Amino acid sequence: MAARLTLRDVALHFGGVKVLDDVAFDVEPGQILGLVGPNGAGKTSLFNCISGHYKPSAGSILIDDTEVSGARPATLARHGLARTFQHPALQLHETVLENILLGAHTRLPGGPLEWALRLPHTSRAEKRLRIEARDLLERNGLGWAADVRADELSHGLHKGVELCRALLMKPRLLLLDEPAAGLPHTEVEQLIATVRRIRDQDDITVVVVEHHMGLIAALTDRVVVLDHGRKLMEGTAAEAQSDPRVIEAYIGKDATDAAA
C-alpha cells in the first residue's frame, strides 16, 4: 500500500550555513512528485534528510503517521522507503543478480550472524528472494543480464539494475535521484513508462529529483520547486514552467526582465 510522505518545517544547518529553511509539503499515497530547482537549491540535501543520510536540524518528516526524522536508512527501509542515487553504487565485479539481492537484506530473517552461518530458515528465504529477483529483472527487461557482471553493462543499464534493487525492498515510498542523468532520449522515454507502470502496478508513492524538465512534465502529478533552500512554489509542472519566480530562479532576473 502506497505511503503518505509529510514534511513540516524541515530545516538543515551546517555550522552557520542554512541549507534548508522550513520546507513543508505533502505527497499523497500513489502520487509522483517532482522535486526541482536550480543548482544549489537544496534538492539533494532534502532527499538526504528524507532518506536518513542527513539528520534535519529542525522540523518533522513522517511516513504515514510515523515520525521518521533522523532515522537511519535501515530503519526507514522497514517503513517502506527505498532510494536510488544519481551515480549507481553497484558492486561492479559481482553479477547483476548479486547486486539486486543487496537490496533485500531487510527482508532476510535474523541478522548478520545467522546469514553468515546460512541457517536453514535463512537459506530458504534467500532462495525465495533469488527467484523473486530474477522475476523482477525479467519484468523490467533485464532478465538476460542476471548472471552478467555489472561492469559489462552500460551506464543506462546500471540505472535499471539499481532501480530493480530498490524494488526488491518492496517499497511503499520510492525516491529517485536524477534517474535520467546521462540517458539518451529513447531511454528517458522508456524510464517514464517504467516509473508510471511501477507506480500503478505496485502501488508506490514516488518522489523524483530531476533536471530533465521534459521528464518532469511527462511523469509527475505535482512538483515542488526549491530555491536557496526554501520552497518557492508548488503545483503542476506546467504551472511551474510558466511561473515568473521559477523562471527567474533558473535563468536570472536580468533574463526575465529582458523577456518581458
Per-domain boundaries in the chain: 20-81+183-260, 84-170
Please check the confidence at residue 177 and state whether its pLDDT lies above 90: yes
Give the torsion sign (CA, 157, 163, 168, 169).
Answer: positive
CATH of the structural domain 20-81+183-260, one choice from 3.30.1220.10, 3.40.50.300, 3.30.43.10, 1.10.357.10: 3.40.50.300
Evaluate whether 20-81+183-260 and 84-170 have a shared fold: yes
pLDDT-derived band at 260 (thresholds 50, 70, 90) equals very low
Q: How confident is the model at residue 211 (pLDDT cuts 50, 70, 90)?
A: confident
Instruction: Assign domain 84-170 to its CATH superfamily.
Output: P-loop containing nucleotide triphosphate hydrolases (3.40.50.300)
On whether the CB atoms of residues 4 and 205 are closer than 8 A, the answer is yes
Mapped to the 3 state alphabet, what secondary structure does 62-129 carry?
EECCEECCCCCHHHHHHCCEEECCCCCCCCCCCEHHHHHHHHHHHHCCCCHHHHHHCCHHHHHHHHHH
Q: How far apart are CA 171 and CA 175, in angstroms?
A: 10
The pLDDT tens digits of the residues spanning 55-89 come to: 999 999 999 999 999 999 889 998 999 999 888 88
User: Helix axis angle, 120-139 relative to 155-167, nearest 10°?
Assistant: 130
Strands, DSSP E only, in the chain? 5-14, 17-27, 32-36, 58-63, 66-67, 81-83, 173-177, 205-209, 222-227, 230-235
Between these two residues, 110 and 33, which has the higher pLDDT value? 33
Q: Is the pLDDT of residue 256 over 50?
A: no
Q: Mean pLDDT score of the chain, rounded to an integer? A: 88
Q: Is the pLDDT of residue 250 over 90?
A: no
Average pLDDT value for residue range 201-209: 95
| Overall average pLDDT of the 208-236 stretch | 93
Residues 24-58 pLDDT 10s: 999 999 999 999 998 889 999 999 999 999 999 99
